[in-house]
Amino acid sequence: MKLHWPSPLLLKRAGPPAALVGGCLLLLGALATCSPKVPLLQRVETIGVLRVATFNSPTTYYVGPTGPVGFEYDLTREFAESLGLKLEILIAEDESEVLDLVLTGRAHLGAGLSMTPTTEAEASFTPPLRSTALQLVYRSGRPRPKSLYELDALPLIPAESAAAETLRELKRINPSLSWAETGDFSAEELLYRVANGQADYTVTPSDLVAINQRYYPQLRVAFSLTDSQDVGWAFAPGDDSLRGAALGFLDRLEPAVLAQIRDRYFGHVSQVGQYGALVLATHTQTRLPRYRKAFEESATRYGLDWRLLAAVGYQESLWDPAAVSATGVRGLMQITTDTAAFLKLNDRLDPQQSIRGAARYLQRLHANLPAEIPEPDRTWMTLAAYNIGIGHVQDAREITRAQGGDPKRWLEVRGHLPLLTQAKWYRKTKYGYARGHEAVTYVGNIRTYYDMLSFLTGGPDVVKIEAPEEVPEEKKAEDPLNINSPVL
């Protein structure tokens, strides 16, 4: 059946007959009734893409030096692959925006969302995928608080967070409870501010506290506000087809696979940043002699100070060739599979090959930084690039420049690297979110180890990376270490 509408001109002048309008509305209503809504799972399979909303955090998703990582990223990628779909991550500013993206249909599911009374009233969840506890965190050197009601300053917490909802529930019991909320800083950023004395207290999930204590050992936990806070995947209510597929996937998922993903991000890891002079001195006598010749030969070949190269190795693995990182990177110098292939290493687990590859990698990163950066700032930025990627270092330099700082000086770039965890800054950058705090700690640790090695092994303290390899212009496009690569 064809519907013949009057021309737009006639409609404008006189409008259609009332009978025609009524009849067409009835017909359209009947057509809608005869065409049931396509289930969400079928729609997702048709477009071939699973859109997952989450937020940047070491507990959920972020782009590290080896590419996208995070508990929620790994698990949702497994789910997408089980459905034969591509995974598309939508980055929200916080948990509130994750929920909004799901409820408005812009995302098919929300990952890493706290299962609070509010969120569970609005969305449908999977069973909990992990649990945390909300903890009151303070800085070492201050008296340990015993109660929320006896604090000498207000806790600062992210607005629209699970911590804020928990405190509002507690306030109903005791109206005298007070705190301050901010929309400018994430939970991770607030931990950094507490560690550096810029905030007195914050309330943060325990898993995030544990991860950040590796880099900020001055953080202390006073007590937990909750026994546990469940975290799961959220779906819009009404259409349960995609949620049903997720439940089936989780039921079929091998317990060992889920345990491996959990351990990768939340398991116990070496507290590298907390090793002191005594431990380093011991390792210098017991472990370093096995690899010193390899450090010296590779450093000479690529224009490095061997003690600097050794300090990188100590930071990466404590000179342990069997070390495995939280993200699955292995070996004495923690070289990724892709980088090993580019460097043509036959066995990245072989200590000599690992050291040689890292030396070449450092030299090329050093060569790809802008020529305007002098020494020793150039070396410190090279180390930061080894940790988080040269693209993120360039982003921090651009932020430094925009803030009126000198992007050629490590001291100023170092002060701006932590801004890469803040949405209002990283959303303006080319490569986005990065754990800038970690890079600052990483470089600081290596500088400390270098100074200690210089003292323990003798000789002048001369940090250098010189005689960089020239990278032909025609090769830069295929070079994964090139400045334009977002993940190094």
CB neighbours of residue 366 within 10 Å: 27
Rounded to an integer, what distance in angstroms lies between the CA atom of residue 445 and that of residue 457? 18
3-state SS class at 124: strand
Residue 367 in tokens: 């060569």
- Gyration radius of the chain over CA positions: 27
d(CA 145, CA 485): 46
Q: Which of 334, 124, 333, 153 is closest to 234 using CA atoms?
A: 124
Which phi and psi (to 5°) does residue 220 adopt? -130, 145
Residues 6+ apart with CB under 8 A from 182: 156, 157, 158, 159, 190
Q: How far is CA 117 from the centre of its chain?
A: 27
- Secondary structure of residue 345 in the 3-state scheme: coil
Query: What is the rounded distance in angstroms from the CA atom of residue 76 to the CA atom of residue 40?
Result: 17
Catalytic residue (choose from 95, 165, 316, 438): 316
| Beta strand ranges found along 34-147 (DSSP E) | 49-55, 62-64, 67-69, 86-92, 109-114, 124-125, 130-132, 134-139
Is residue 372 annotated as a catalytic residue, yes or no?
A: no
Are 139 and 197 in contact by the 8 Å Cβ rule? The answer is yes
CB neighbourhood size of 431 (10 A): 20
Q: What amino acid positions are annotated as catalytic residues?
A: 316
